[in-house]
Amino acid sequence: MSNSLITLRRPDASDGSALHELIAACPPLDANSRYCNLLQCTHFSTTSVVAARGDDIVAAISGYLVPGREDTLFVWQVAVSESARGQGLGGRMISEILARPECSGVRYLETSVTASNDASWAMFRGFARRTEAALEESEMFEQTRHFAGELVRIGPMGKQARPETDPASPDVIKERMA
């Protein structure tokens, strides 16, 4: 199944339930309400992406431009199903979001990562390395008052963070998974 065609695209309202189920199947991600996932797929569709194999959503990233700092994309959640892990899909999804016109001014990527989430750390460190950008860690919220999560900031990023896109279809990148 790993050789199946994966399509990266903007999410839409019809993806809300599938996103909810994907996140539930990807601990330690925080499960949100279906309504929240529906909003991620609609209100935040320009800064989010789903990876579909046929009719199945196998991965997704939810993100948004930080209000007042539109040069910063905040990656809210990254979910990759077990069947799609270990193939660099997370980094490709981030690059696909950054290639969109709405993100043309983005120079920084931020996210929060718990210390124990090795897969997320590997993905974000790899993305920083590939884009030749610094990766800085700082406390996002005070641990004793909020929760245990480190703020990760990558940037500034150059053009190498954005893949070449087909001008006839800027919202969809199709690639054959190795």
How much is the pTM? 0.77
Identify the pLDDT of residue 142. Answer: 58
pLDDT for residue 170: 41
pLDDT, tens only, 42-90: 999 999 999 999 999 999 999 999 999 999 999 999 999 999 998 899 9
Q: Which residues of the chain have pLDDT under 70?
A: 1-3, 140-150, 159-178
CA 131/CA 138 separation, integer angstroms: 20
What pLDDT shows up at residue 32?
A: 86
**Side-chain-facing half-sphere of 43: CA atoms under 13 Å:** 8
Asked if 150 and 137 touch (Cβ cutoff 8 Å), the reply is yes
Of 105, 106, 124, the C-alpha closest to 114 is: 124
The pLDDT value recorded for residue 163 is 63
- Which 3 state secondary structure label does DSSP give 18? helix
